[in-house]
Chain A
Amino acid sequence: MNGAQDLGGMMGFGPVAIEQDEPWFHAEWERRAFGLTLAMGATGSWNIDMSRHARESLPPAEYLTSSYYEIWTKGVEKLVVASGLVSTEELTRGRSLSEPAPIRRVLKAEDVPAVLARGGPAERPIGQPARFAVGDRVRTRNMHPQGHTRLPRYARGKTGVVELVHGAHVFPDANAHGQGEQPEWLYTICFSGQELWGEQADSTINVSIDAWESYLEPV
C-alpha cells in the first residue's frame, strides 16, 4: 500500500539526527515493547509480513509522528485484536477480562537463544526455474496495490539490471494477508540514479532493491 512507511525519495524531514554513544534502548518501555513484539512473534499467531503490514498500515499522520517502538507497540495491539487473542476493551481497560484464547506456543526464556539462532529463513524450494538471469534488463511494474508490497514507489515502472539472484523467497504481498507463502524468485535489481530521479540526478549513484519475480517484466 502507498503508506507513510514508503519513505524513499521524500523530502523535508531535515538532517539525519546522529547520536554519539547511542544506547540500545532509550527507555525501559522500549525494552519491553521490543521484547514483547519478538515474544508474541514467536507464538506463531502471525508471520513477519503480517507484522510489518500492521505497522505500515497505520494512518500516515500517525505513522510519521510515532517513534519506532511506538509503531511496534501499535502493530502488536492491532495483531492481537485481529487474531482474537485480546479484545479492544481489554486494551482500553489495561487488563484481561476473559479467558485466554488458544495459542500455538509460548516462548520460554531458556528457548530464546535457540529461537533467535534459528531465525526465520525466507528461502523456499520452488518448482520452476528463474525467469531472469544476472545481467538481464527488466522493468518493474507500475502497480499500486491496496495491500502489502515491498516494491517502493520510487522504483515502480523503472528499468534496471538483474545483479543477483537470491533463490525463491516467501512472497510478502501474499503472506501478509494470510494467503500462504507463494514463494517466488527474488532478485537484486540495480537502477541508475538518473533512471530513478531524472536527468538532473547525480550520475555517480546507483540504487538497488530486492524484487520478487512478479514485480518484474522483461524489457
Chain B
Amino acid sequence: MGHNHHHDHDDHSHLSGIELRVRALESILVEKGYVDPAAIDALVETYEVKVGPRNGAKVVAKAWADPDYREWLRTDATAAIASLGFIGRQGEQMVAVENTPDQHNMVVCTLCSCYPWPVLGLPPVWYKSAPYRSRAVLDPRGVLAEFGVHLPETTRIRIWDSTAEVRYLVIPMRPDGTEDMSQEALAELVTRDSMIGTGLARQPEAMR
C-alpha cells in the first residue's frame, strides 16, 4: 500500500475496528502536519528490510572467530557492536552476555518489550506477549522446553530482565566441529532465538 492511502475515500466498511482507528489517527496527524507519511514508510522499510538478526549473527560469529573482538565485546559491547555499523535506537547501550557450559543466559522484558533493535530487529510477537513475559523470570526451564531447549540440570540459568535502557545480546556457545568454518558460515549457525537465549546455535550438520 502506498503512503497516500489516507487520501482514499472509498468504502471502508470491510475494515476492522483497529484498522479504522489507526487509519483515522494517521489521517488526523497527517492533516495537521505533525507526521509525514513518507517518514512512516521509511521507518517501516528500515525495520522490515534493512535491520534484523543477521546483524547480531555477524557480531556473534566475529566473537567466536576473533578472541580480541570477543574481549572487546565483553568490556565494551556498545563500541564493539558499533564498529560493525550496528548503532542507534534501542541499542544505545549494549551488554553482551556469553553462554558457557555452566551458565545459560536468557533475556526478557517483563514490563514492556525492550529488545536490542540494531542487532536483532523488531521483537517477535511471543517476546512481547504475556506468556513469555510472565514466565521467563519464574519458570525459565519450562519456557525453554516450549522452545525445544533442554539444558543439563547442572547448567545455571541466568535471566536478564531489561527494565532500563540497557539492551542485552546473548552470545550463544559455538557448536563443536566448526573450527574450520569462515565467519560468514558461522553466522549462518546463529539464530535469532539463540541471541535472545530461547534457542541454541544450529549444529553444522543441520546446515548440510
Label chain A's interface by main secondary structure: mixed
Contact of A43 among B23, B34, B41, B158 (CB under 8 A): B34
| Interface size, chain A (Cβ < 8 Å) | 95
Q: Is the CB of B25 within 8 A of A73?
A: yes
A199 close to chain B: CB less than 8 A = no
Write out the residue numbers on chain B whose beta carbons fall within 8 Å of the beta carbon of A69.
18, 22
A86-B32, A112-B46, A166-B93 known; A95+B24 contact, CB < 8 A:
yes
Q: Is the CB of B39 within 8 A of A152?
A: no
Give the Cβ gap from B126 to chain A, nearest Cβ, in Å.
5
A122 close to chain B: CB less than 8 A = yes
Q: Is the CB of B35 within 8 A of A94?
A: no
Residues 125-149 of chain A: 1 if any B CB is under 8 Å from the residue's CB, otherwise 0? 0000000000000000000000000
Residues facing A in B71-108 (CB within 8 A) are 87-93, 95, 108
A202 to B95, CA, bound (A): 26
Q: Is the CB of B27 within 8 A of A32?
A: no
A124 to B174, CA, bound (A): 36
A112 to B89, CA, bound (A): 11
Interface segment among B54-62, B132-140, B179-187: the answer is B132-140
Residues facing A in B7-26 (CB within 8 A) are 18-26
| B residues in contact (CB < 8 Å) with A | 1, 18-29, 31-36, 38-44, 46-48, 87-93, 95, 108, 110-113, 121-122, 124-126, 128-141, 143, 146-147, 153-166
Q: Is the CB of A122 within 8 A of B164?
A: yes
A203 to B185, CA, bound (A): 37
A24-B47, A186-B164 known; A207+B159 contact, CB < 8 A:
yes
Q: Is the CB of A35 within 8 A of B43?
A: yes
Write out the residue numbers on chain A whose beta carbons fall within 8 Å of the beta carbon of B46.
112-113, 116
Q: Is the CB of A119 within 8 A of B89?
A: yes
A94 to B26, CA, bound (A): 9
Write out the residue numbers on chain A whose beta carbons fall within 8 Å of the beta carbon of B90.
119
Q: Is the CB of A16 within 8 A of B146?
A: yes
Give the Cβ gap from B131 to chain A, nearest Cβ, in Å.
4
Q: Is the CB of B34 within 8 A of A76?
A: no
Give the Cβ gap from B29 to chain A, nearest Cβ, in Å.
6
Q: Is the CB of B88 within 8 A of A117?
A: yes
Q: Is the CB of A95 within 8 A of B31?
A: yes
Write out the residue numbers on chain A whose beta carbons fall within 8 Å of the beta carbon of B112.
5, 52, 55-56
The residue in chain B whose Cβ has the minimal distance to the Cβ of A74 is B21
In the A-B complex, list the 3 residue pairs whose CB atoms are closest, starting with the nearest: A35-B40, A94-B24, A8-B110
Write out the residue numbers on chain A whose beta carbons fall within 8 Å of the beta carbon of B110.
6-8, 152, 154
Residues 92-128 of chain A: 1 if any B CB is under 8 Å from the residue's CB, otherwise 0? 0011100011010011110111011111111100000
Residues facing B in A10-69 (CB within 8 A) are 10-11, 13-19, 22, 24-29, 31-36, 38-40, 42-43, 52, 55-56, 64, 67-69
Q: Is the CB of A122 within 8 A of B93?
A: yes
Contact of B34 among A40, A77, A207 (CB under 8 A): A40
Q: Is the CB of B88 within 8 A of A204?
A: no
Q: Is the CB of B130 within 8 A of A64?
A: yes
A34-B47, A96-B32, A205-B140 known; A109+B134 contact, CB < 8 A:
no
Q: Is the CB of A169 within 8 A of B164?
A: yes
Give the Cβ gap from A208 to chain B, nearest Cβ, in Å.
6
A210 close to chain B: CB less than 8 A = yes
Give the Cβ gap from A160 to chain B, nearest Cβ, in Å.
12
Q: Is the CB of B33 within 8 A of A106?
A: yes
Write out the residue numbers on chain B whose beta carbons fall within 8 Å of the beta carbon of A111.
39
Contact of B111 among A6, A35, A77 (CB under 8 A): A6
The residue in chain B whose Cβ has the minimal distance to the Cβ of A166 is B166
The residue in chain A whose Cβ has the minimal distance to the Cβ of B130 is A13
Q: Is the CB of A36 within 8 A of B25?
A: yes
